[in-house]
Amino acid sequence: MNIQDIIQKDLEKLYAENISVSMIQLQKTKKEFKGHFTLVVFPLLKISKKSPEQTATEIGKYLCDNESFISEFNVIKGFLNLVIAPSYWIDLLNSINLDQNYGIKKAGEDSPLVMIEYSSPNTNKPLHLGHIRNNLLGYSLSEIMKASGYKVVKTNIVNDRGIHICKSMLAWEKWGNGETPQSSNKKGDHLIGEYYVKFDQEYKKEITALETSGLTKKEAEEKSSLMAEAREMLRKWEANDKETVSLWETMNSWVYAGFDETYMALGVDFDKIYYESQTYLEGKNKVLDGLEKGIFYQKDDGSVWADLTADGLDEKLLLRADGTSVYMTQDIGTAKLRFDDYPIDKMIYVVGNEQNYHFQVLSLLLDKLGFAFGKSLVHFSYGMVELPEGKMKSREGTVVDADDLIEEMINTAAETSKELGKLDDYTEEEAAEVFRIVGLGALKYFILKVDPRKNMVFNPADSIDFNGNTGPFIQYTYARIRSVLRRSNDEGCLYTPINSDININEKEENLIQALSEFPEIVEEAANSLSPSVIANYIYDLVKEYNQFYHDYTILKEKNEEIKKLRLILSLNVGKVIETGFRLLGIRVPEKM
């Protein structure tokens, strides 16, 4: 039983009444007061029928008399500060030390299945900085949900059809001269992205020329032969024209190979990938089925709509007059296929906050169409990520490419490490591996430590700092712990349980208390859908450990039992760092 449960049982005895565990409001005691936990007594005043101070004193005396692990108490204006006996902390550390999967819950047969969609790239351009935030959040959230006892399916929907794809295809046909990833020595997604930008450049030239001839901008756009060709290519694709489909398959295969390289470099993966080209027809069929059942309605021009005004929204187009689908249609089709494939209890979409309205509508439509998870689907709405220079634009080619950023982070880690002389005795291969771990750790931690709902500015230089709230600072602390443990192993130190009657200092108590919070932190991160909860907890734990490491000796401690305590404490701080970072998708180096 945890302390909250024990206090609940004690108070039921003290007041001879049933007391809900929710009334036992425990929090960490503020640093300016003596104590480890503070009980807020105000919810209990109706039961005690006494003042806050009298109630706190009465409870404090009862707990001290009946629980050996509570050594003393003090009362500050109706707040009961409890001091926990050293033996409790030692027993707790021994327990944590024995648990190799500390903080992690395993899914059982009856555990809910959560499907988490992330990445969702378009095949007309490479992944960029915005995709990096999406992938890191989605992957980390998946790992956190798994660690909280859920079954998890990681999924991706690839937007591989539509007018934007045809723009890249048409530009390659017109100006590519048969260029391939092999002939150009470029990643396939980069190559296709260049032709997407090329289309936009040529289209703008054509519009400018038409406007110069006296047309308005709208007239020029309607007269654009380039856009007309792109639309005709889309029509041919939807009509299953052999040559168009063959070109589409070839160019998409180049992009997929490029995406796979980036995903591998980022350390993210998927259990199942869906493709819009395979789901949009399913969506059309579901919409037509909904039309037949009277869920949707058809206008005179043949377009199909959903009337959501009774739900406080507006009317939503589902099929155009020419029968072609929209994004919402594709999402309905994807949901249908997923529901066929898996017994989904909860569906989480990791998509930026500019799509908030889209997912409000999707939730209503799926519910009306009879999907069990429709009403309860979760849009994990995250903020945009920008650079110090401002926003990025794909069509203008001003985005920060994911591959370039990953390479830059690894190179910056190498330069910084060399300047600090941290890896002077490493082989070239060992150093390269550490540079990769540190560079990617800096990138991932900098993004994941921010509340996902907030917009953020990513500054590569700030993220790689070996001091402060950064990935490298935490990784360096982990490597320091591993170094201490290696030296202790050389000395033949044993990690047998610690005697509960030894004296421990305040910093050791603080560290054990911090470790004890880890399971709740994982649960909080899962409930709030926020990897930043774990990231900032790990940073606080590392700060606490570094203060302890600075103030006390470990290997040179003459009292063998205290030395063992500090080694086991270090071992488990390292264990929690490694586990917490693994839930963020970040590796930690053994040496650094």
**Inter-residue contact 155 to 274 (CB < 8 Å):** yes
Tell me what the mean pLDDT of segment 195-209 comes to: 96
pLDDT at 391 over 70: no
Task: Give pTM, 2 decimals.
Answer: 0.91
Tell me what the mean pLDDT of segment 119-124 comes to: 95
**Inter-residue contact 38 to 29 (CB < 8 Å):** yes
Q: Measure Cα distances from 491 to 226, 486, 494 in Å.
A: 75, 9, 9
DSSP state of 159: B
Tokens linked to 277: 């080209």
State the pLDDT at residue 238: 87
3-84 CATH, one of 3.40.50.720, 3.30.1360.70, 3.20.20.70, 3.40.630.10? 3.30.1360.70
CATH of domain 412-583: 1.10.730.10
Tokens linked to 215: 């047309």
**Inter-residue contact 120 to 160 (CB < 8 Å):** no
Report which residue type is found at 74: N
Which of the four pLDDT bands, split at 50, 70 and 90, describes residue 390? low
The full DSSP string for 382-433 is E--EEBTTB---TTTT-S-BHHHHHHHHHHHHHHHHHHHTTTTTS-HHHHHH
pLDDT, one tens digit per residue, over 562-587 is 999 999 999 999 999 999 999 999 99
State the pLDDT at residue 491: 77
d(CA 469, CA 55): 41
Point out the least confidently predicted range of 311-320, 415-424, 560-569.
Answer: 415-424
State the pLDDT at residue 389: 67
Which of the four pLDDT bands, split at 50, 70 and 90, describes residue 323? confident
Percent of the chain clearing pLDDT 90 (strictly above): 86
State the pLDDT at residue 392: 44
Which of the four pLDDT bands, split at 50, 70 and 90, describes residue 489? confident
Tell me what the mean pLDDT of segment 545-563 comes to: 95
Domain boundaries, given as residue ranges, for the chain? 3-84, 161-269, 412-583
**Inter-residue contact 117 to 350 (CB < 8 Å):** yes
DSSP state of 440: H
pLDDT at 515 over 70: yes
506 three-class SS: helix
